[in-house]
Amino acid sequence: MLARGIRSYHRPTRLEEAISLAGQGVVPVAGGTRLFATDREVPNVLDLSALGLSRLETIDGDLRIGAMTSLQDLADSREVHLGTAGLLTAAARAHSASRMIRGMATAGGEAVHGAHDSEVVAALLALNTIFEVALPSGPLESPALRFLKDPAEDLGQGGLLDSLSIPGAPQGAALERVAVLPSAPALMAVAVTVSFAGDKCARARVALTGLRTRPGRVLEAEARVEGTVGDEAAIQKCLEQIAARAPFRDDAHASAAYRRQAALVLTRRALMRAMAQARSGTPPPPPARARPPLPARLPTELPYFTSGMVEVWINGQRRKARAEARTTVLDLLRAEGLRGVKHGCETGECGACAVLLDGRPVCACMTLALRAEGRHLETVEGLGTPDALHPVQQAFVDTGAIQCGYCTPAMELCAKALLDAVPR
């Protein structure tokens, strides 16, 4: 696990300080199933959570998303839903079935990492997103086609991704994907946006995952739809360009031939759905039980930390615990005698380490302890007592919902978080 190599931890409160540290090679913490948007072990990490980069706002019809906004906030936001014709909310939900992952993964981290199977990156491409980068020399606006092709080109000079701007909602949008299971990563996904002028398609954007490197657009395919009424002949010409020009990935999960055939089917479906939405003028229904993001509570500045005492709230009690820069929430809690949180995969996949951080489930194995400083952690030990079980715990007992028991504490905490989030 990459966290093992961490030696120092920095949490600035001013963007200028963060840019200076990034220029010195300090690596930003990303979140999700990857602490960093890099495969190498890093000794010095940069926590961006105190910079106020977790925000959502609409300015003159353009949607602005802070780089530290979580995917769960994107999935839950009515503002994001309306500002992207439902595309980005759908992509954020498709990214992972786990609320723990969506709650920690960020829009900026996902864009910089740019996994080949990322529906979020495909959606950002289809939405013509503008990436606003803070550089030592001043701000830079980078279009999606440039930034998402190679983020290091814009960030390599000590830059940090500040925010993402989506210029106006498309009239129609759709996301189609295929996977081994609905909860599994996509073998192939297609994100489409369209806008009409009269009865003609004035703009079409088609972005694909499942390519050899990062998700990308096929400009020649888009051109075959633009300027047409979006009929079958235009769609067929679009598909021919995708088949001829898209460099599909060939790996153990699926062959390039399979992905090519899947891309043609999914693109047709996505174009037809997006065009139908644009012609009807009816936006897609908002996400069920959409709720606003949690109020931002910025942590305090931490200029430099290697080891020392960390103050956190655990099950309602204020506690101080010794930690190193590399200590995870999982390590801290177990050292404090809370054994309900378990070691499992240590890659954020199994969920055995789930705890609640400010009421939201997170993977304790993928969350550095310093990210929890001054915040509230809840473990199964704080859920109920042997004499007064929490209703969720009682329901587990009544139905025999224990399986082997190893992950049961995490399941109970996640069930509680779900019930807290969903109005009855």
Taking 90 as the threshold, does the pLDDT of residue 101 lie above it? no
Better-scored residue on pLDDT, 159 or 131: 131
What does the pLDDT look like over 104-120, one tens digit per residue? 889 999 999 999 999 99
Maximum CA extent, the chain = 70
What is the rounded distance in angstroms from the CA atom of residue 98 to the CA atom of residue 415? Answer: 12
Taking 60 as the threshold, does the pLDDT of residue 166 lie above it? yes
User: What average pLDDT does this structure show over 263-271?
Assistant: 98
Which residues does 280 contact at the CB level (< 8 Å), separation at least 6? none
Would you give the distance in Å from CA 139 to the centre of its chain? Answer: 24
Q: Are 264 and 239 in contact (CB under 8 A)?
A: yes
Better-scored residue on pLDDT, 285 or 4: 285
Q: Which pLDDT score, from 0 to 100, does residue 40 have? A: 66
pLDDT band at 5 (very low <50, low <70, confident <90, very high): confident
Q: Which pLDDT score, from 0 to 100, does residue 32 have? A: 55
DSSP annotation of 13 reads: S
What does the pLDDT look like over 196-224, one tens digit per residue? 999 999 999 999 999 999 999 999 999 99
Better-scored residue on pLDDT, 37 or 390: 390
Taking 50 as the threshold, does the pLDDT of residue 1 lie above it? no
What is the rounded distance in angstroms from the CA atom of residue 81 to the CA atom of residue 90? Answer: 8
Beta bridge partners of 8: 44
Q: Which pLDDT score, from 0 to 100, does residue 340 have? A: 94
What does the pLDDT look like over 372-384, one tens digit per residue? 999 999 999 999 9
Q: Are 92 and 120 in contact (CB under 8 A)?
A: yes
What does the pLDDT look like over 268-286, one tens digit per residue? 999 999 999 999 988 778 7
- pLDDT averaged over the chain? 90
CATH of 52-280, one of 3.40.50.300, 3.30.70.2660, 3.30.390.50, 3.50.50.100: 3.30.390.50
pLDDT band at 129 (very low <50, low <70, confident <90, very high): very high
Taking 70 as the threshold, does the pLDDT of residue 360 lie above it? yes
pLDDT band at 103 (very low <50, low <70, confident <90, very high): confident
Supply the pTM of this predicted model: 0.91
Domain boundaries, the chain: 52-280, 306-421
Beta bridge partners of 378: 356
Q: What percent of the chain has pLDDT over 70?
A: 93
What does the pLDDT look like over 409-422, one tens digit per residue? 999 999 999 888 87
Q: Which pLDDT score, from 0 to 100, does residue 239 have? A: 98
Taking 60 as the threshold, does the pLDDT of residue 36 lie above it? no
Taking 70 as the threshold, does the pLDDT of residue 20 lie above it? yes
**Greatest mean pLDDT among 298-302, 319-323, 402-406:** 319-323
CATH number of 306-421: 3.10.20.30
Q: Are 128 and 205 in contact (CB under 8 A)?
A: yes
Taking the CA of residue 406 as centre, how many other CA atoms within 13 Å lie in the half-sphere pointing to its CB?
9
